[in-house]
Chain A
Amino acid sequence: MQKGEMYVGWSTKDDVRKRGGSGGLVTSMLAAALEKKFVDAVVVLKKINEFEAVPIITSDVNEVLNSAGSLHSVPSNFAKLIANRNLKVALPAKGCDVRGIIEQGKRNAINLDNTFIVGLNCGGSMHPVVTREMLEVMYKIKPEDVHGEEIEKGKLIFETKDGKEHAITIDELEEKGYGRRESCRYCTIKVPNNSDIACGNWGVTGDLVGKATFVEINSEKGAKLLQNAVDAGYVQVQKPDEKGVAMRAKIKGVMEDLGKKWKGKVFVPIENGRLEYFRKELEHCIDCGACKTVCPTCSCGDVSKCTEYHFRGDAYKMSMYHLVRFLHLADACIGCGQCSDVCPADIPLTRLYRRFANPVQEQLKYEPGMDMQKPPYFEVKLNE
């Protein structure tokens, strides 16, 4: 097996295959990595309820096997979880998780040589509270009655405990303010080729639909991970058919174009003064610091410029905390949406950070988290 190859595969464990998002390959690959001592630990999601799970680090193979399945709501980014822990670890990762991990790698908080990143294709994730409200308002079903969910042909489908399926198009949901988080709508990383191995259901065809995972090997580490799982008897693979490969590329293209369209829709030019716009958006900030804590590309600890230059007793039009962060994130923000998710004042922070990051990253031709290119701000040299 080597970089660039594609396969369709599945877990050899029936129950994992059944519970898995699309064949249980990811789960089995992670479990095999642990079992064969490829890694010391694995990150998995522990389910709290139908709409929420919490990421944990575990060395327990059974815990890994139990974690199969995709959750369309969004936990905290995994990068911060494994940062500064010096682990040999394998983990599943959506595009934004992968980007966060790579950025932490550049900041020496994660050793990427010891990190095996199993990328998940990602069409978008949802906030659990929004999802519950959406179920009641749009689907007219009780959140407690939901048994499973899936996305198919542009529709978000919920299965209820009585076996019935309830489908609404994602376009319609998003028009009404539900559906994917705003950052996911304009996110452009749909197939995480920045991971070691990218896994998803796009490209799985025929009888295997829903029962197999499509994988693309992106690195030598990725090849080793998959080979290990096959050798250990955890996973079975076969070559994908051409139709599947073409279909996957096509959907990826369509999704990326949709992302660009959303970007245009969200980032309409600011009309009446930039300072006033940002000041107004931030006027309810209660200084909780959650946006920094959660940010997967920030690797500062308690001592950081944004907090050290900031005193709550200052009366600036915009706090030093925000000013420093806007500056620091202009080249680093990956648009993961976590800051908006956790802001207690419901400030659309990702949108604000991207207002700085979009032009800066476009001009510098730099996309953080996509590869090992050094952040442009690291290269800035000040004249004496």
Chain B
Amino acid sequence: MTDNVYSTICPGCNFGCGLYIRENGTLEVDFRKSSPANAGKLCRFGMSLPKLYAPAKSVIDGKEVTLEDAAKEAAKRISAGSAAFLSFGNTTCEELVAFQKVAGSYLCTGANFEALPKDTYQTLSVGIPYSEIEAAKHIVLFIDPYEQYPLILRRLLSAKKKGAKITAVWWKSMPVASETIKPSDVSKLALTKDSLVIADFHPLSDSEQVKSVLALAKNAGARITFLKPFANSTGAYLLSKDAKQKSLAQLIDDINKGTIKTLFCLESDPSALIPSETLSKLTNLIIQTGQSSSAKANIVIAHEPLYKKKGTLINNEGRAQALGGAGTNGLDALGIIAGSKFEFNALHDSLKKAIGISAVDEFTIPKYDRPAYGAIQAAAKPPETKTALLSVYNPFMWFNLADDNDFVELNLNTAKALKLLKGGTLKIKSNGASIEKKFKVAPVQENVLITTRKFGIEKGMLTSVEISR
């Protein structure tokens, strides 16, 4: 008997938190205290990883098969044409390099780079080291650190201890920020060249909003860093810099039009981002994954979970970190689909070349070009003034994982005006749908409800709603 303990990285977001997964009948999390991104500390999602890693089974049209057979059948169906390839970046750089070769002309990382100025690609792809956040004098948050990227919080607290001022442009006041500006009042935000803007970038980002934060930082000479939601978003973006990428909106459009009939998803649950009406129009949904997914796929190619894989992930800071596993059957499956075997070492070498390193060392962040970008015309609409439900995207949402979050947050005055009862519920209506939810009184702005859970009535990040007792 020897325990199987894997030194690994949490896939919950692109923060790059190190941990151990111990196989002990059930899966257990242990703390990797020397991990440079997180000092071994994990957020609520990281602590829930044993729930995420429910094993998947290879399937063809509902029948359980071997990985090899599933991959062969996938190859056959893909070769019929009209196929698109989607990976948000929830897997190793080595797999992503192979994936690009498989994808050919229809690659989608989910990010909408097309709608953004070309010269912002690098800024959007790779963020600044967390140590620079800790050293900043003025930090401006366009995120909720507590819910979205929780391990950033201790860096912010450390900056604050050293005297940094923290401003949040958000719908709720948060204890870490000494100043909160309503998103609709963003014009009141005063930035200087000492400011550091922290925003996020993901498949559901509104491109106009992204442009407007980029412009704000540019105009003030402030630094800006983007956090991202997938384990290897940074790797995925850096590696596909020169590839022709389709946006998620384009992909959805093409599926709806019928020009894409087969969708191959690598370690990405499409049901988190693509409407089910759209997915149901596909002839073939093929999912290659290490954990069971809620999407109804025609073919599932089930390989080892991320923590057992061999390979490299790149976090928000651009830090390359090795996963502690030895598994390569994800690559083997991609090889079957490509029609020629992929060698791990060759893929690993091309990754190193792409980011200019000779070896992966988690304690040294590679040097990245951080080119300035040009002036940006931003035409972001000010957020709605009517009552809106704000969906705060967080790891549980991206992964469709259940959590103790079946409630909305609202302002005390709203609760009073609606005569809500303590311990009672609130009715929320939108587009003909109606739900009833528990509520929590919190320092959120009037006319905003906040949720960290997907209720099914949402239309994007802000959904216009009517509320009553």
Contacts and interface: CB of A to CB of B under 8 A. Distances in A.
Given A48-B34, A129-B33, A284-B175, A344 B43 contact: yes
Interface in A35-86: 40-41, 46, 48-49, 51-52, 54-60, 63, 73-76, 85
A68 to B, nearest CB: 17
B149 to A, nearest CB: 11
A14 interface: no
Given A344-B42, A345-B157, A58 B1 contact: yes
B325 to A, nearest CB: 14
Given A288-B47, A290-B42, A346-B154, A74 B33 contact: yes
B28 to A, nearest CB: 9
A57 B438 contact: no
Contacts of B158: 346
Given A143-B363, A312-B404, A54 B7 contact: yes
Interface in A278-296: 283-284, 286-290, 293-294
A336 B418 CA distance: 48
A344 B5 contact: no
Nearest to A143: B363
Contact of B34 (A57, A73, A76): A73
B435 to A, nearest CB: 15
A287 B42 CA distance: 11
Contacts of B3: 56-58
Given A315-B442, A344-B42, A344-B43, A294 B33 contact: no
B175 A283 contact: yes
B465 to A, nearest CB: 18
Contact of A288 (B5, B32, B42): B42
Interface residues of A, number: 46
Interface in B317-347: none
Contacts of A48: 7, 32, 34
A281 B404 CA distance: 23
Nearest to B408: A313
A289 to B, nearest CB: 5
Nearest to B155: A346
A293 B29 contact: yes
A73 B407 contact: no
A45 to B, nearest CB: 11
Contacts of B440: 312-315
Contact of A54 (B32, B42, B147): B32
Given A288-B150, A313-B440, A315-B441, A129 B36 contact: yes
B31 A59 contact: no
A51 B5 contact: no
Contacts of B404: 311-313
A58 B42 contact: no
A52 B5 CA distance: 14
Contacts of B34: 48-49, 51-52, 73, 128-129, 132
Interface residues of B, number: 43
Contacts of A76: 30-31
Contact of A313 (B5, B30, B146, B439): B439
Given A48-B32, A76-B30, A284 B157 contact: yes
A313 B29 CA distance: 26
Contacts of B442: 315
Interface string B120-164: 000000000000000000000000001100110110011000000
A56 B32 contact: no
Max count, chain B CB within 10 A of own CB: residue among A56, A59, A345? A345
Nearest to A58: B2
Max count, chain B CB within 10 A of own CB: residue among A73, A129, A132? A129
A76 B31 CA distance: 7
A97 interface: no
B40 A341 contact: yes
A362 to B, nearest CB: 31
A313 B39 contact: no
Contacts of B30: 54-55, 76
A117 to B, nearest CB: 19
A314 B439 CA distance: 8
B46 to A, nearest CB: 7
Interface string A294-320: 100000000000000001111100000
A327 to B, nearest CB: 21
B225 interface: no
Contact of B2 (A63, A75, A143, A290): A63
Max count, chain B CB within 10 A of own CB: residue among A55, A75, A144, A284? A284
A344 B2 contact: no
Nearest to B442: A315
B404 to A, nearest CB: 5
A259 to B, nearest CB: 23
B31 A342 contact: yes
A114 to B, nearest CB: 15
Contact of B33 (A55, A284, A312, A341): A341
Contacts of B230: none
Contacts of B441: 315
Nearest to B38: A344
Nearest to B46: A288
Interface in B382-407: 404-407
A314 B422 CA distance: 10
Contacts of A63: 2
Given A48-B34, A286-B146, 17 more contacts: A40-B1, A54-B5, A58-B3, A59-B1, A63-B2, A128-B39, A129-B39, A284-B153, A288-B43, A288-B150, A289-B47, A290-B47, A313-B404, A313-B438, A314-B440, A342-B33, A345-B154
25 contacts: A40-B1, A41-B1, A48-B7, A51-B34, A56-B3, A57-B1, A57-B2, A73-B33, A76-B31, A127-B39, A129-B36, A283-B175, A284-B175, A286-B43, A286-B153, A289-B44, A294-B31, A311-B407, A312-B404, A312-B407, A313-B440, A315-B440, A341-B31, A343-B41, A346-B157
Interface of A: 40-41, 46, 48-49, 51-52, 54-60, 63, 73-76, 85, 127-129, 132, 143-144, 283-284, 286-290, 293-294, 311-315, 341-346
